[in-house]
Amino acid sequence: MASTDRSRKALAAIYVLPQASTLWRNARMMSATETPAQSGRAFHPTSLSFDRNPYGRPLHSLRFMSGDKGKHMQLPAILQGDSLKRLLQGAAAGAAAAMIIGFNWGGWITGGTAKDMTQRSSTAAVIAALSPICVDKFQHSAEASANMTELKKVSSYQQGSFIEKGGWATLPGSDSANSSVAQACANMLSSLK
């Protein structure tokens, strides 16, 4: 028996032996034939004490560790008083600086600007595609050389309207001439000869 106690003490020094659970240590044991209702201790999950771990030691929470039952945890110093004010001011200044740098030099754009850029680029693509058709219609007209001389006589800002009036900027499937196509057509014709 003495050797058994000695070996248990040696094992306890090496390993932390688990203690009996609080439920078994503190509770009255029921007899094998007794039901929970007969013992006066009906089993209900909320009636169990869960404030101890399986080894019988109490569970620690921040409330018990702080010693103050009203406060659970204090905020760090940076989030209190003037520090919080400075932190929020720094965050606002950083956000403003990021937006200024991003929109001016970073290539950021708003949705409206992107929509305008898309509209302009699609219009430019249509003009670039339709202007050669206008030039071809002008060059294959019955009086191409006479029209070219008249086009050269007209001032540069009125050349587009001259092309429109001649009907060369009116494309198949449309009723009226496109002024942008007419101006691009006039520019192309002026650069030809």
> What are the 10-residue block averages of pLDDT along the chain, 193 residues in total?
59 51 48 57 54 66 52 73 86 96 93 95 93 91 89 88 89 84 91 75
| Per-residue b or e along 71-95, where b marks 16 or more CB atoms closer than 10 Å to that residue's CB | eeeeeeeeeeeeeeeeeeeeeeeee
Q: Note whether residue 117 is domain-resident.
A: no
Domain finish residue from 24, 42, 65: 65
Residue 34: per-residue pLDDT: 58
What is the spatial distance between Cα 165 and Cα 150, in angstroms, rounded to a whole number? 13
Q: Note whether residue 92 is domain-resident.
A: no
Q: Note whether residue 82 is domain-resident.
A: no
Name the domain count of the chain.
2
Nearest C-alpha neighbor of 18 from the set 53, 42, 45, 43: 53
Domain finish residue from 20, 37, 65: 65
Residue 26: per-residue pLDDT: 46
Q: Note whether residue 138 is domain-resident.
A: yes
Domain span at 186: 127-192
How much is the pTM? 0.47
Q: Note whether residue 159 is domain-resident.
A: yes
Q: Note whether residue 72 is domain-resident.
A: no
